[in-house]
């Protein structure tokens, strides 16, 4: 797979471009349909509050998908991804207003593997000033 970034051009500490991803209720309805995850906590405010949530929350897998884009946009080829993992630590709360929520994602190269020509990118994923994913790491094979 042909990543656009060359392994030799990347150092531990190299930062990936930060991106922001807006999320509204409409985003979640659309993601529910595309992913097949129709859990009402992602679209029904009454239900979400009944089970103790502050409001409707984004699908964890939606947040995981957005966070990956910082890596796949950087390498150009999503097929260069070797490993990707996250921990769902805090929900992304999505209010029913015109703005919704924003997921902010930054990434930094944390380790290099000379033999495999892969790098590990540690991602920082936040919404409303709080970290929403923990242990968010991607390993990518570079050119």
Partner 1 sequence: MALDQSFVGRTYPATEPYEVGREKIREFADAIGDANPVYTDPEAAKALGHPDVIAPPTFVFAITFRAAGQVVQDPQLGLDYDRVVHGDQKFAYTRPVRAGDRLTVTSTIETIKSMAGNDVVTVRGEVHDETGEHVVTAHTMLVARATEEA
Q: Which is nearer to partner 1, 36 or 129 (CB)?
A: 36
| Shortest distance, position 76 Cβ to partner 1, whole Å | 8
Q: What is the largest CA-CA distance in the chain?
A: 53
Name the 3-class secondary structure at 109.
strand
Q: Which is nearer to partner 1, 21 or 43 (CB)?
A: 21
Rounded to whole angstroms, the Cα distance separating 132 from 1 reads: 31
- Residues near partner 1, by CB under 8 A: 1-2, 21, 27, 30-31, 33-37, 60-62, 64-66, 68-69, 72-73, 76-79, 81-88, 135
| Shortest distance, position 134 Cβ to partner 1, whole Å | 8
Q: Which is nearer to partner 1, 13 or 51 (CB)?
A: 51
10 Å CB burial of residue 63 (0-12, 13-18, 19+) is: buried
Rounded to whole angstroms, the Cα distance separating 139 from 84 reads: 6
**Cβ neighbours around 12 below 10 Å, total:** 11
Looking up tokens 């097949």, which residue turns up? 36
Q: Which is nearer to partner 1, 7 or 84 (CB)?
A: 84
| Shortest distance, position 92 Cβ to partner 1, whole Å | 13
């Amino acid at each position: 797979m042909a990543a656009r970034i060359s392994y030799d051009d990347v150092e531990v500490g190299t930062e990936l471009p930060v991106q922001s991803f807006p999320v509204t209720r409409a985003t979640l309805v659309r993601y529910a349909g595309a992913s097949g995850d129709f859990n009402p906590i992602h679209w029904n405010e009454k239900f979400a509050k009944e089970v103790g949530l502050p409001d409707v929350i984004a699908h964890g897998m939606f947040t995981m998908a957005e966070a990956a884009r910082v890596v796949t946009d950087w390498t150009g080829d999503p097929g260069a991804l070797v490993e990707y993992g996250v921990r769902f630590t805090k929900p992304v709360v999505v209010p029913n207003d015109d703005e919704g929520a924003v997921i902010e994602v930054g990434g930094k190269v944390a380790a290099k593997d000379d033999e495999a020509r892969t790098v590990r990118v540690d991602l920082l994923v936040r919404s409303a000033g709080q970290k929403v994913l923990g242990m968010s790491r991607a390993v990518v094979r570079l050119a």
